[in-house]
Structure 1
Amino acid sequence: LARILGDCRSFRPEVSAAIEKEMRRIAEGTAQAYNVAAEVAYTREFVPLINDAALVDEALAAARTALADDAVRVATDDAVRIAAEPMTASEDFARFLDHVPGCFVFMGNGDTAPLHNPVYDFNDEALLQGTRFHAALVRRRLPAL
């Protein structure tokens, strides 16, 4: 008995389907060559998170009205990225975007270890910035009463 575990991440569902098809083909061909059985259990735990372009523009406009001028910028380092290259991080929010258009936003947290690191230290000051951003976004998206 041999067992191989791993995950595959892609930016488009058709790529995920092609990966699954090829994995099955290779496993079945290898099993046939050695006169053994193969079973492939392929699940899609990680789906691409695809932002709605119009909502990205809305989020950027809200951020620019609610935050300091230097808080929203295009950067080449890891601090802030706008229109960044695709990344293969996994995020459950992607499942919501399968059902309703949306936009995932990275909010800065200062100089600390990355999330899920045992020495990560949440910057409580970031709550104020996040609240300002979300309030500005609500003001832009909801009709005035």
Structure 2
Amino acid sequence: MGGQSVRTVIALCAAGLLAAGTGTASAAPAASPANAHPAHAVQRPKGRPVLVDCFFKPQTRPDAFILACGDGNSRLSSLHWSQWNDRSAVAKGLNFVNDCKPYCAAGRFHSYPVIVRLDRPEPWKKHPHTQRFTRLSLVFPAARPDGYQRTETYALWD
């Protein structure tokens, strides 16, 4: 894994840890009466899955998305969605990545064509009746940032 990928993973992990520490009891689902749903009934979240952004806002078919919440050094832009259903979503767009040379504050952003795939929907802890995508994959069909593989896969925050 290259330096930029490591920085991106660290930023995503830090954002996830920060978010986990800021939860409140009000985010927990309310208890339901014992007779409201039989024990064997499974309540499936309603609606299409969402993409949760850095500010914990649900997004559907966003035209842009920040991948590196901690520093903004990797972001998606010009997203055009060809699919968004109960299992996955697919878009084409650009990944703008800071080369961090000689260091990130002085670095330059470079754009790379990318195919974005979202999948593995699960209930969102903050809103248990809402499905959210839990995995994002980037496929670079041509050039890609130094240290990146042709396909990069990230676990998304909750």
Give the TM-score of the pair, scaled to structure 2.
Answer: 0.24
- Scaled by the length of structure 1, the TM-score of the pair is 0.25
Larger Cα-atom Rg: 1
> Of Structure 1 and Structure 2, which has the larger fraction of its residues in helix?
1
